[in-house]
Amino acid sequence: MNTAQLAIQHYILAKDGNRPHLLSRAFVPEATLDMVVRTGSISFPPHVEGVAGIGDVLVRRFGQTFENVYTFCLGQPPEAGAKNYQCKWLVGMSDKNSGEARVGCGVYEWQFSAESGLVEKLTITIEHMKTLPAADLGSVMKWMSGLSYPWCNSEAAVSDAPDIDAMGEVIRYLTV
């Protein structure tokens, strides 16, 4: 498995599993994170510097609010030696307090260090983030836990999606 692919997988395992220690296997120490949020249902700071700051925002604080997190990179992993990689992503999770389900999607844009192969810069664009009633959590988790993790193709993801009207924008985004 190549370094870029491993770096992305360590990021996903760190975020989804609330394991900030894994971020040092994903990012260079001085890495930057830019967030483009195009929905009002979730918020993040627009710019974060350093692996410690990234860990605070995307793992520690995120993990205080959400659990049962599944993040998927849609498409083929980056090739060995990749300097840049872009893919759509899909996420499903539950709110620890309300039990509501969240389903979202967007784009990851990765830039890797030529020396280490680790992530120098990550730009996350959040296109849609839908909040669903707690009653939908079971079907969302059944769907998410049945997908190939963390790499999945869009066709497989949408073909197994539960029929929940509120997720329509997410499904449409993934199929374009």
Instruction: Determine the pLDDT at residue 1.
Output: 65
Residue identified by tokens 């999945």 is 152
Q: Domains along the chain?
A: 3-175 (3.10.450.50)
Is the backbone peptide bond immediately before 29 cis, with ω within 30 degrees of 0? no
pLDDT digits (tens, 9 = 90+) for 122-160: 999 999 999 999 999 999 999 999 999 999 999 999 998
Instruction: Determine the pLDDT at residue 45.
Output: 86
H helical segments located in 33-153: 51-55, 62-65, 137-145
Pairing state between β 151-152 and 66-74: parallel
User: What pTM was computed for the model?
Assistant: 0.95
Question: DSSP secondary-structure letter at 150?
Answer: S
Query: Strand, coil or helix: what is 97?
Result: coil
Rg (CA), the chain: 15
Distance of CA 118 to the CA centre of its chain: 17
